Amino acid sequence: MINFGEASLASEKDECKFMDKASRQIQLNPDDLAKANFENNKIFFYSVGAGFAGIAPCFEKIEELNCVQNSHRLEMIWVGGDVISCKSQSELGKKVGAWAKKYNCRMKSFLIKNNQYKCGR
């Protein structure tokens, strides 16, 4: 006999595994990570995926974001989708967005300071 309650829980756990990776990511210091990546020529920015489209914090103007997307790599931090609902997902999404903004702004400042940022100021 199949226990649908257990199958449902297993599926929910599988669907929410993305939260583990996002939670580990925000344990890193965004300023230190941006500095280390810049110094090691690992230039990229983070976008945050929550639903149909991602956001790239620190790039408010669409022209700047388009330039960044064409000039640099964007790494997605997945914080959920429109149809997946996990415990504390909304809270984690806000934390990841704030973390990504700190990292992106710091990386951007390093590039500007070193005349390597070609997407405005």
Task: Work out the number of other CB atoms within 10 angstroms of the CB of residue 119.
Answer: 19
Annotate 64-82 with b (16+ C-beta within 10 A) or e (fewer): bbebbeeebeeeebbbbee
- For residue 14, what pLDDT is reported? 62
What average pLDDT score do residues 4-11 get? Answer: 37
| Percentages (nearest 5) of helix, strand, coil residues in the chain | 55, 10, 35
Chain segment 82-112, per-residue pLDDT in tens = 555 777 777 888 899 999 999 999 999 999 9
- For residue 120, what pLDDT is reported? 79
Read off the tokens for 119: 């997407």
CB 104 within 8 A of CB 47: no
Measured distance CA(112)–CA(29) in Å, rounded = 21
Domain boundaries, the chain: 4-113
pTM above 0.85, yes or no: no
CB 80 within 8 A of CB 51: yes
